[in-house]
Structure 1
Amino acid sequence: MEEVSTEALMNVVVDVEKLGDEIIADRYSIIDMDRIRNKNREALSAIRKPSELMKKEEHVWMNIGDLFIRTSKDQLGAILDEDQKYLDNEINKLRDNLKPKVAKMNTALGKPEVKGFDLQRLSKEEMDAVRQAMG
């Protein structure tokens, strides 16, 4: 049987731990960004379908950190839409980078490659084409 040096074994363990930490950090980042995205979606819904009280108001209050700003509904909607696009892009980047990290960690651990794990989601255009084909 082939002898594995302690140093080589430690290097593998350190690499696996680093990858594991990166994977966990990325997953927590995705969760945090998703929470923000959901709050933004709630705010967008509230200003686009206002209640009786909000119909009278042209301006709304917005909280950014410890700062309250009064702005128009249209401007707030534009800010939130831009923030949603940014969050969507960042979440997608993290998700796309997560798959190779998990595959690399599994390889380092000697686990077999997970079949179907590297599947890519359909784009909006592809989904539209599928819907048209389905009727």
Structure 2
Amino acid sequence: MNFEKTTMDYLFCVEKQAEEILVDKSEIVALDKKRNDNRMAIRAIINNKMPQNKTWIAVGPLLIKVTENRAKEMLQEDQILLDSRINKIHSDLKIKVNKLRDMEYQEPVKGLFLNPLTKKEMNAMNQLLSGHSS
């Protein structure tokens, strides 16, 4: 009976971890959709052929009328918050995936914590590569 309880506890922990990963992934999709909608709204304000003094914008369940500049500022501020929230979930997700793989007695995902080269590092690489090709 003790072996069955231990097995059930283990399976429960694995399923709980996997569920957290799926919830995070679905949250990223929802936030990314909102980020894309904001990007389209900002582009619509910028490309407006007949600029108006004020425009309607949805803020949660409310619809308010603000100047186009203020609407653009609000959307850009929201973009920053969405970007930071998505980045935080992404970094937490990497840890959760490795924890799940550890629980399943698998190796960590190779390259999961790689970061892109900075602009400075990329310039140094380009200089190095262009110096050898000459």
TM-score w.r.t. structure 2 length? 0.84
* 2:58 equivalent in structure 1: 63
Gaps of 5+ in 2: 128-134
Gaps of 5+ in 1: none
Deviations along 1:23-77, whole A, 9 cap, x unmatched? 00000000000000000001111111212xx32x111111234422110011111
Question: Percent identity between the aligned chains?
Answer: 33
1:132 aligns with 2:123: yes
Distance 1:46 1:130, change over 3 A: farther
Aligned length: 125
**C-alpha separation in 2, matches of 1:118 and 1:63:** 37
Aligned residue for 1:63, secondary structure, equals strand
1:50 aligns with 2:48: yes
1:73 aligns with 2:75: no
The Cα of 1:111 is off from its aligned counterpart by 1.6
Runs (4 or more) in structure 1 with deviation over 4 Å come to none
**C-alpha separation in 1, matches of 2:47 and 2:36:** 16
2:91 alignment partner AA: D
Aligned residue for 2:114, secondary structure, equals coil
The Cα of 1:121 is off from its aligned counterpart by 4.0
Equivalent residue in structure 2 for 1:97, among 89, 92, 96:
92
**C-alpha separation in 2, matches of 1:36 and 1:87:** 8
The Cα of 1:13 is off from its aligned counterpart by 0.5
User: Structure 1 residues 102-111 or 112-121, which shifts more?
Assistant: 112-121
Aligned residue for 1:119, secondary structure, equals coil
1:39 alignment partner AA: D
**C-alpha separation in 2, matches of 1:65 and 1:112:** 43
TM-score w.r.t. structure 1 length? 0.84
